[in-house]
Structure 1
């Protein structure tokens, strides 16, 4: 027996940005569906203070605008006006670009005729308004919408035409969407997994003489490093979120003092980045790929980090999850037969999903390959894209909206 979306009972497991965005979209686009959100954290947990940095594509910004929460997020976000990608110490430099300058690619919002390419905000700045909007929706329609914070879901059991969810007591739903995240080292292994043997060091740096609103990606012999622009600090200093990826087996960052890290980072990034004057205490976590081969298993759908955990080299994990959520609700709206909708969403999301998985996996693994001329090829690719505006615009659209 197939349930209909007009009477759909939907469980959303995980009240992070992807789960809450899906729940809000479902509550509005499926006006007769019963939607319940489960999360282990208490409803009064200080989620707004969570400082983890997330990169939002323009498509994700537009999603938050449609949900009515972007004005609240924007007050604590920094627009990305440009993305600058360069390579440190490329081999055979003159052969790749015909100049003594390092190869680089720069994508600017004005060239793509958009106000911004995306934005950078903390996890708390995004989740707090989404949670407030969901709680308000639950208060407005308590018979249809429910928030089950402080509740852990311990098991999902397939049923004919539905799913049984164990959250202390067994409950039946027509469909369960798992949107719980987590980092690579904490997750159970999925169908496709790869340990990159790389460590990401993350924190915040202070910059002097930098251009506001520019995200910098730097390819180095040890791995990629990125600076994502943040709102200015309390004294008006420019700040950026740092993601610094290095080999785990021979970690060059761990033994350094903060002063030494500032000196290394200031030398690592290109001259146009600005001078790095200070760095916060850094935290580290291991990097790997952990992906389900399919988003759909019976009446269970996994989205966001529950479906795939990616290397941060492209900063696209959240954006991919928000696109998963948007397309799932849109498909349920257009196709009320749940099983047919799930079959369609599995095929529909595959190109965007696997293109992003393949791209980030290739880039992450390329830093472990000891192949002569590899950096030369990478530098040539950056220079070639910079010299070909149509290809650069195609890449920019992929960054902003995913593969359509």
Structure 2
């Protein structure tokens, strides 16, 4: 037996909110779905240049929703994680872990593309569904939700006019510094400098993460330009109170970055102006509060060290719809969702939080221990494969 009816409000038309709405529209024919977002419907989102890293599981979900445009995506064939000197030398050389798609028998580990290249196809697919089923699907773009109020057996959504719904799902994102603080909120005392770099002598499709004494730095491969120029998105994390990046010129930043990343990453020959974002953990203890569910960044904003925030949110969306499909009552749905999402959600929160905080600890030998851990992981094939599967598909 399934729910006879469902009046669902989705607050936020970013990647997670639109994926949820589209999946619900197609998988729950008994559901009325309304999407709210403050941005106007005619605002062009396709050109939003922010970089997103999607896992293979996320790519597969978007393909299932017919909302994937691979023309603008750079597949990730390999992830290379290493520790910058000084670190404990090993007989195998520099501590590193290499995870390759070919070793995992998958076409890619994930893909890198812009925010606009993810959202625009999702919004187009959603609007097509609204035109097909106007009697049960609604878009309320240009309409900011001002508040949510619990009701007996439902929730009231105040978007200028108060409307009752059976369930409201909040999927609005935002960065750590702009969010209201949740139950688990803690700044890391770190700043992420983000932008793009151009590369010479790099191998296409390889993502690099480098552990330094200041924090992690990452290069995410971008689709080459039409003239073949290799590019990568840069995420460079450093202490906020002793920021070694802030006062550097672009030339100086390039020089420093070329001392950070390994030779396999190629030589960085160009850099865009960098933007700075304070980092921290901001998470709810539970996804569910009455008839309101929070998913994606509305539920947990993580350190970018593993690049898993959006992937976690897309899995939240998929699991919620899947739970509704098999539940007799909404209460049973929400209980099932909480239990099903807990292992994946809390393991990712704990792992990213531990790793982020470890760069602020001053314990002697910590860098050496981290290097030994990388070397051990590289040698432990089954364990490395298990980690790769969790990064691609989440904890199951």
Superposition RMSD on alpha carbons, in Å?
0.8
Please tell me whether residue 83 in structure 1 is matched to residue 79 in structure 2. Answer: yes
* Aligned partner (choices 27, 35, 38) of residue 33 of structure 2: 35
Q: How does 1:187-266 map to 2 (within 5 A)?
A: 187-266=179-258
TM-score (norm 2): 0.99
The equivalent of 1:325 in structure 2 is 317
Tell whether the 8 Å contact from 1:5 to 1:30 is kept in structure 2 after alignment.
no
The equivalent of 1:47 in structure 2 is 45
The equivalent of 2:17 in structure 1 is 19
Residue 142 of structure 1, CA deviation:
0.6
* Mapped partners of 2:218, 2:41: distance in 1: 33
Residue 41 of structure 1, CA deviation:
0.3
Residue 218 of structure 1, CA deviation:
0.3
CA displacement 1:159-206 (0-9 Å, x = unmatched): 000000100011000000000000001011100011001000000000
Tell whether the 8 Å contact from 1:90 to 1:379 is kept in structure 2 after alignment.
no
* Mapped partners of 2:37, 2:317: distance in 1: 17
Residue 350 of structure 1, CA deviation:
0.5
* Mapped partners of 1:43, 1:336: distance in 2: 35
* Mapped partners of 1:86, 1:365: distance in 2: 18
Residue 7 of structure 1, CA deviation:
1.3
Tell whether the 8 Å contact from 2:88 to 2:371 is kept in structure 1 after alignment.
no
Please tell me whether residue 145 in structure 1 is matched to residue 137 in structure 2. Answer: yes
Residue 69 of structure 1, CA deviation:
1.4
* Mapped partners of 1:317, 1:129: distance in 2: 20
Aligned pairs, number: 395
Residue 362 of structure 1, CA deviation:
0.3
* Aligned partner (choices 5, 8, 16) of residue 7 of structure 1: 5
CA displacement 1:146-169 (0-9 Å, x = unmatched): 010000000100000000010001
Residue 388 of structure 1, CA deviation:
1.3
Classify the secondary structure of the residue corresponding to 1:131. Answer: helix
Tell whether the 8 Å contact from 1:107 to 1:396 is kept in structure 2 after alignment.
yes
Q: How does 1:99-138 map to 2 (within 5 A)?
A: 99=92, 101-138=93-130
Classify the secondary structure of the residue corresponding to 2:72. Answer: coil
Residue 236 of structure 1, CA deviation:
1.3
Classify the secondary structure of the residue corresponding to 1:48. Answer: coil
CA displacement 1:328-380 (0-9 Å, x = unmatched): 00000000310111011111111100000000000000000001110111100
* Mapped partners of 2:200, 2:12: distance in 1: 39
TM-score (norm 1): 0.97
Residue 115 of structure 1, CA deviation:
0.6
The equivalent of 2:175 in structure 1 is 183
* Mapped partners of 2:157, 2:197: distance in 1: 44
* Mapped partners of 1:177, 1:107: distance in 2: 35
* Mapped partners of 1:173, 1:267: distance in 2: 55
* Mapped partners of 2:346, 2:223: distance in 1: 33
The equivalent of 2:88 in structure 1 is 92
CA displacement 1:236-293 (0-9 Å, x = unmatched): 1100000000000011101010111111111110111100000001001100000000
The equivalent of 2:271 in structure 1 is 279
Please say which of residues 262-271 and 313-322 is displaced more in the overlay. Answer: 262-271
* Aligned partner (choices 283, 303, 321) of residue 291 of structure 1: 283
Question: Gaps spanning 5+ residues in structure 1: where?
Answer: none
Question: Gaps spanning 5+ residues in structure 2: where?
Answer: none
CA displacement 1:14-48 (0-9 Å, x = unmatched): 00000000001101111021000000000111211
* Mapped partners of 1:28, 1:364: distance in 2: 39
Residue 233 of structure 1, CA deviation:
2.0
